[in-house]
């Protein structure tokens, strides 16, 4: 019996807490307020009587009851097919009649530019520092055994190590082209 009573009390407390939370967090909509101009009760300057105003401005009752023009004959009929009117072509500048006066197309002269340098396909997986202060970089291409090298060494016969830092390495191709920084995260 005491266990049921405790559960009953905890359930009642939970309902009260949820009710209070819902009441305080429930979005309340504020009552709409009239603009300051309508609250001030503007007066008509000619008659001195209170002016009839609406949410946007004064209401013109005579304009609401006035007759309007008939729409007349409409040009567009949505139930009848008519071909679309084609606009006239834009005016063009007069064409040059003499072929000798036309400028010649620009043709690049000389050899084609060299192809871009391919990126270095190695990843830095570690940096070792010996007791004498020389740093060694541990690199991998993901296919073979790890490659090791220090500043100035050529790795895999294709890449030159320029500088080894604590978290990155600067390399280039063996001929000095395509300088690239490889971070310890793998690129």
Which pTM was predicted?
Answer: 0.41
Task: Tell whether 112 is covered by a domain.
Answer: no
Task: Identify the domain containing residue 162 by its residue range.
Answer: 123-183
Of 2-6, 26-30, 56-60, 172-176, least confident by mean pLDDT is 26-30
- Please, which pLDDT band fits residue 39 given cuts at 50, 70 and 90? very low
Residue 149 binned pLDDT confidence (cut-offs 50, 70, 90): very high
How far apart CA 77 and CA 82 sit, in angstroms, is 9
Residue 34's pLDDT is 53
Percentage of residues in the chain having pLDDT higher than 90:
30
Q: Domains in the chain: how many in total?
A: 1
User: How sure is the predictor about 52, in pLDDT bands with cuts at 50, 70 and 90?
Assistant: low
43 contacts: CB under 8 Å, gap ≥ 6: 49, 50, 51
Asked whether residue 135 is domain-assigned, the answer is: yes
Residue 59 lies in a domain: no
**Domain assignment of residue 164, yes or no:** yes
């Amino acid at each position: 019996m005491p266990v049921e009573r405790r559960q009953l009390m905890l359930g009642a407390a939970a309902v009260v807490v949820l009710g209070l939370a819902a009441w305080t967090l429930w979005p309340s909509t504020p009552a709409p307020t009239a603009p300051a101009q309508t609250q001030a009760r503007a007066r008509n300057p000619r008659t001195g009587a209170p002016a009839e105003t609406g949410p946007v401005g004064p209401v013109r009752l005579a304009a609401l009851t006035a007759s309007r023009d008939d729409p007349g004959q409409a040009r567009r009929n949505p139930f009848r097919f008519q071909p679309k009117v084609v606009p006239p072509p834009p005016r063009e500048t007069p064409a040059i009649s003499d072929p000798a006066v036309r400028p010649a197309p620009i043709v690049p002269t000389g050899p084609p530019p060299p192809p871009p340098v391919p990126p270095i396909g190695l990843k830095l997986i570690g940096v070792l520092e010996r007791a004498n202060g020389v740093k060694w970089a541990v690199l991998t291409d993901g296919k073979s055994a790890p490659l090791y090298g220090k500043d100035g060494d050529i790795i895999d016969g294709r890449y030159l190590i320029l500088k080894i830092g604590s978290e990155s390495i600067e390399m280039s191709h063996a001929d000095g082209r395509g300088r690239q920084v490889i971070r310890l995260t793998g690129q």
